[in-house]
Amino acid sequence: MSATVQAPGPVLVGVDGSGRNASAVAWAAAEARASSAPLVLLHDASGAGERAGRATVDRAAAQVADVDRELRPVGEVVTRVASEALTDTAREYGQTLGHGAESLVVVGRRGAGGFTRLSLGSTARALVHGEGPATVLVPSGWDLTRLDPHAPVVVDVSHDADDHALEHAVTRCVRDGRPLVALSAWSVDLVEGLIDRPIPRVWDEHADRAERELEERLAPWRSAYPDLEVVALATDRHRVAALLDQAVGAELLVVPRGRSACAVAEYAQCPVAVV
């Protein structure tokens, strides 16, 4: 993938009227304002009906106005599973706008569901495991006003084969003037660790190779955006643990879809974009 950033597409946020959902609505509103993108509020009214669903959307629109009164969100009330409706609507908007614009779906980490011990709700879990558009999961209580203006965007490039996660992170950093932390986790194969060579030497060789490969991967982006502050972090720590540590104080954590995405999204202390 070339080291260029794409034009923003619409921001779609799932709303359910719960207090836990308020942070997601506020995050989506701030994102729509920053990217000059259309904002869509979508609610699944399967259980409550059209009238109650419209009232939920109206309350979410009032929350949007608290962030920016100039925003004019579009409200959509549907009667099907929220994760499917968000994915399908995002694709429809993307096809309508064209020009490579990619929709962004935003949901709360938890919604109105009654299973209090679950740290990741059913809608969020379905979107993380699906093959839909980029999805941001916002933890309950996330407060944009308390965020450090220089907080970094952290991206996991360990298994980001096509640099899609890296592109998403760079787009945000370039737009907002934030630093980028690119993390690549590496490990030593067990068989190689058992060969008749000093383990410290094997570890040093892998560390040097990982750092070199990460720098080579970031080089086109550094060249394309020379003002972008980039921190390259190659680590032999467990991938999830390293990402969760870096997420503390971050503005956003960007991870590619895969086995680790759900664990990261479930426990990170900042919003997580799964792309």
pLDDT of 115 reads 47
Q: Report residues of the chain scoring pLDDT below 50.
A: 115
pLDDT of 71 reads 97
Q: Alpha helices of the chain — where are they, by DSSP H?
A: 22-35, 50-67, 82-97, 122-129, 164-176, 190-193, 199-224, 239-247, 259-267
Q: pLDDT per residue over 247-261, tens digit each?
A: 999 999 999 998 889
Q: pLDDT per residue over 53-71, tens digit each?
A: 999 999 999 999 999 999 9
pLDDT of 219 reads 97
Counting other chains too, the contacts that 84-90 makes at CB distance below 8 Å and 24 or more residues apart are 84/126, 85/42, 85/44, 86/12, 86/14, 86/42, 86/123, 86/127, 86/132, 87/127, 87/130, 87/132, 87/133, 89/12, 89/40, 89/42, 90/9, 90/10, 90/12, 90/132, 90/133
Q: pLDDT per residue over 190-225, tens digit each?
A: 665 556 777 778 878 889 999 999 999 999 999 999
pLDDT of 259 reads 81
- How far is CA 96 from each of CA 63, 99, 164, 204, rounded to the nearest angstrom? 27, 9, 22, 51
SS3 11: strand
pLDDT of 101 reads 65
